[in-house]
């Protein structure tokens, strides 16, 4: 069932998947989190040297998600809530947890937000 939920979430929004009989919001998010965590554990980030940093609104209002992505490969490296400078430190910690070194980052592409 979990593999089916992941497949459905690739084609539909989570809110649409939870409308299916017997599928709860919690089950969908637990399944997605499991597979995302598994993918991150297998991802080799030791070669990352350039990072893109952007934000998007996660809900109406002023709730923002910060997205860090590899500029040399099509992958998201880290996401977190917030717009403060501390999210960059959180990303550096998350990058170093699997053995990469934040000091290897030689280039960053981002907007010129006052918080940085």
d(CA 67, CA 109): 12
Query: Tell me: the pLDDT tens digits for 85-108?
Result: 788 888 888 887 767 777 888 888
Instruction: Please state the pTM of the whole predicted model.
Output: 0.69
pLDDT band at 71 (very low <50, low <70, confident <90, very high): very high
pLDDT, position 96: 79
Banded model confidence at residue 34, pLDDT cuts 50, 70, 90: confident
Strands 107-110 and 75-81: unpaired
Could you read off the pLDDT of 55-68 as tens digits, one per residue? 877 666 667 788 89
Q: Which helix (H) or strand (E) holds 19?
A: none
Of residues 73 and 14, more confidence is placed in 73
């Amino acid at each position: 069932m979990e593999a089916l939920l992941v497949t459905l979430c690739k084609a539909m929004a989570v809110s649409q998947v939870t409308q299916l009989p017997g599928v709860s919001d919690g089950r969908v998010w637990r399944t997605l989190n499991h597979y995302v965590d598994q993918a991150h554990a297998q991802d080799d980030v030791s070669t990352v040297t350039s990072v893109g940093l952007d934000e998007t609104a996660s809900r109406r209002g002023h709730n923002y998600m910060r997205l860090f992505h590899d500029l040399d490969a099509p992958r998201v490296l880290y996401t977190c809530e917030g717009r403060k400078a501390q999210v960059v430190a959180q990303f550096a910690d998350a990058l170093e947890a699997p053995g990469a070194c934040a000091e290897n980052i030689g280039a960053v592409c981002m907007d010129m937000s006052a918080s940085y």
